[in-house]
Each structure stands twice: as structure tokens, then as C-alpha cells.
Amino acid sequence: MTDGVSRRRFATLAGLSAAGIASPLEAVEAKPARPPRNAGGFPAGFLWGTATSSYQVEGAVEEDGRGASIWDKFVRIPGKIEDGTTGDRANEHYHRYKEDIALIKELGCKAYRFSVAWPRLFPDGDGKPNPKGLDFYHRLVDELLKNGIEPWLTLYHWDLPQSLEDRFGGWRSTETCKIFGDYAAYVAAHLTDRVRNVFTLNESGRFVYFGYGIGIDAPGLKLPQADVNQIRHNSALAHGLAVQAVRAHGRRGTRVGPAENIDACAPAFDTPENVRAAEIALREMNAGYLNVIMTGRYTDAFLKYAGSNAPKYTDAELKIISSPVDFLGLNIYAPQNYVVASDQGAGFKPLPIPKSFPHMNSDWLRVGPETIYWVPKLAAKIWKTDAIYISENGTSGDDVVSPDGKIYDTDRIMYLRNYLAQLQRATDEGVPVRGYFLWSLMDNFEWVYGLNKRFGLYHVNFDTQVRTAKLSASFYRNVIAKNAAGA
């Protein structure tokens, strides 16, 4: 269904180098304070966590007043979900959250990244809030804190209320952006007495391009490029409005930032020229979202490349979009672009990925551990941030249940060991990565793949809902205990 299309591919500026666009990158150096080091491991106080999202785990889609989301509708379109399943039941996390929090505690994680289901709080997206929906998140947060786990809340992980899609065209309209700001204000007012860290939108690069550009995700539209660019701009505006809402309505000291599937660019090999090329590529390949959030402007190269398809915007919108953030969340799974220096065009040349490039059991999930070293390192320099969190990283696996009832997922351990070693290399060099959230706590509804792709540390039997620790859960527990990648 999705062969040849990266799950987390931004792709807006594919072919930028070939377009012959000059794009000098300002030479700026990020000089964050180096945190105390743990000899032979990650910095002292490094935050270890895991993550899920509401539609993928909660289930209970028609319980306690929850409204419909665009995914509730989309999964019922024949052929859209690989195995024909839905998130109606998923992991029953809505009812089993205490059991699942016990699993997080068992790992030794000190943080849990979860998302709030917008239609659970506001069945129509706006209007009268649903108190039973809010009560669930009160219970969830309280149970996390009771177990010594810090809640990290994501405001939006793709479950847009269907009513907003029907009434306004969803993210095609700035009306949805304004309503999202109101929703963010409500969440901040009611939960930031205990939740001190908030992600705004998860993976604009995925839900915009896949949902409105190529129709693979909800709401399943295939719109012209000009519309896609405008929708992406609107999502950046929604992010900015949410940042302002959290500042205005959240408890003082609440931190807020984006969580983006950055278009990951890395030098093909380490030379000064190739590293410089990767810098330029990382900025320009993310110019339509992350760069405008972090700098308050679209790059000249982006606007020239987009041409008549460029988004329409005002200076006031750019000011909102670039509202200062407290941290940068990066979802990093696989390299999208290996680049070398070029004396033509933008100064970099993206290289084709050979068919023989190693990957996990998801074709898009190429194994490039150095990506998690280069991307935070270059991002910190480009955008001068002193707090980066790896908001997602992990892999699917075959996860065969052995005759003894156990899952020996040495493939996942291989992936994690190598990525974490490269992440530790980055922190050793002072790259300001402050924490890591492994995707995912447990197998769940994996969007267009349904239940076919398993990313969890815990295996889930979706018939019985029994959770079983995989070998990778023990691996991750050991990493956390030692605060070191070589565990």
C-alpha cells in the first residue's frame, strides 16, 4: 500500500538541489551549557521515556461522550487500512491505563509521552467541553505521578474532530487553527497544574502530506501542491497559537514545543564540505515547517522553489508561528537524505538510496544509526536551541511468539543499540539532547498498516489484550538503569 513512500517523509522540497537554487546558510554556532556527564554514558539527569498516541491505543471511540475523528471515518473506507482493522478497540488503554502505566514503571522510565484525543474533550472540536473526557486525562495524569512518571502531553496526534473537517475543511481553514488554540488553552488551564511539558502538533510533515497531498492518511485527500503548502502553513500557525495559549493559560513554568518528523539529512561521509552541505540540506528540506517555526521566516530558496504554489501569509501570522519555544522535539527513525557537497544549486546534492540499503521489516525504515547523531547536532547549530528531545525513535519487527511464549526481538535490540550509541556520541560532544522517548510502549494500531506492524516493547495479543514483555523491554530497562547505550 505504501511501498516507496516513507512513513515520515516531508518531501516538500524534493529536487531542490536540482532546481539550481542558491541557499547560503548563516554560520551560527549553538553553545549550550554542557550538562554533568555520567562517566561512560549519557549526561546525568538524562530523561528516559516511552510514548503512545490516543487513537493508536485508547479505543473506546464511542464511550463517555467522545466525538468522531477523521480517523474514525477514514478507517471505514474499503482498502485504506492494510488489514482492514480500526482503532475502535485498539489497546483498550482507556480502560487498562493503570496496567499500562505499571509497564512503564517496570521499564524504569521516568516519563511518558501521550496525546490527548481532541474529540474526547470537544466532541465537535469546539463548543461545550465533555467533562467525562477530561476526567480520563485527570485519572491518567494522577496515576502517572503516583508511579513516579512524568507526564509529557501532546495536544495533537492526528485525531482531528470530524466535525471540523466537515464544517471548515479541517486544516485547510485558519478557522480550525483558531479553534485548536482554544482547545490548547482549555487543556493547559485544566492539566498543567501537574503536566509541565507540552508538545503541540505531532508530525506536521506526515499528516499534511499524507493526509492532504497523497491521500494515504486521513482525511484521504489529494490536493494540488499550492493547497498542501497552505495547509502546512496553517499547521505551523496552529502550532504558534497553541504555544501562545499554553503561555497564557498554563501554569507558570510550563514548557512547550513541537514534535516533528524532521526530514533527516546526513552527510554521506564526514568531511567539512559534506557536513556543511548537510547543514544546508537540513534547513532547506525543513523550510516549510520547522525552519519557519524556529526563525519566523520562509527561506528565499523555499519561496523560489514553491513559486506560485507558495503559501499565502501575513507578517502577523509569521510572528505567531515563531512564538518562542522551550524545546525542540525530533522524531527520528531513518535517514531521508544522504547528501554530498555540490558546487551547483543549493550547495548540496541528495543521493539516491539504493534498493539494497538495509531496512527493518517496514520498507521505509532504513537503518541509519548515524542519523540520530547528525540531525540533533546540525539542528542545534542551525536553530540555536539548547534543549532537544528525541520525541520518537524505534522500529517495527517481526516479533514472532516462540513456543515458550516469549518474543526474542533481537532485531529491535540491534536497531536500538546502534541508534542509542550514536545518540550517546552526540551527547558526549555536548549536543543538547536532554531526553529520549522510545516508540512505542506497546504494539498498537499502526495507522495505514492496521495491526500488522508492531513497534512495541510489549507484545499485545489484540484478541485477549494480554501484554507480554519482549526481550527489547529488558534491553531498554538495562539501558535506563545504566544510563548508557552499551548496555
Q: Would you put residue 416 in left (φ > 0), alpha (ψ -120 to 50) or beta? A: alpha
- DSSP β-bridge partners for residue 267: 339
- Residues in Cβ contact with 420 at an 8 Å cutoff, skipping those fewer than 6 apart: 436, 479, 485
Cα–Cα separations (whole angstroms), residue 169 to 165, 176, 204, 219? 4, 8, 16, 10
Catalytic residue among 150, 260, 317, 392: 392
Known catalytic residue: 392? yes
Closest CA to 236 of 284, 294, 179: 294
Burial of 334-367, coded b for 16+ CB within 10 Å and e otherwise, reads bbbbbbbbbeebbbbbbeebeeeeebbebebbbb
Known catalytic residue: 370? no
**DSSP assignment of 31-84, as one string?**
-PPPPPBPTTSSBTT-EEEEE--HHHH---TTSTT---BHHHHHTTSTTSSTTS
Burial of 108-135, coded b for 16+ CB within 10 Å and e otherwise, reads ebbbbbbbbbbbbbbbbbbeebbeebbe
Cα–Cα separations (whole angstroms), residue 124 to 9, 86, 128, 165? 30, 21, 8, 10
Catalytic residue among 203, 279, 284, 370: 203
- DSSP β-bridge partners for residue 390: 330, 436
Answer for the pair 384, 432: CB distance below 8 angstroms, yes or no: no
CB atoms within 10 A of CB 210: 25
How do 348-350 and 337-341 pair as beta strands?
Answer: antiparallel
User: What is the spatial distance between Cα 444 and Cα 429, in angstroms, rounded to a whole number?
Assistant: 35
User: Strands across the sheet with 337-341, in order?
Assistant: 265-267, 337-341, 348-350
Residue written as grid cell 533481537: 410
Residue positions annotated with a catalytic role:
203, 392
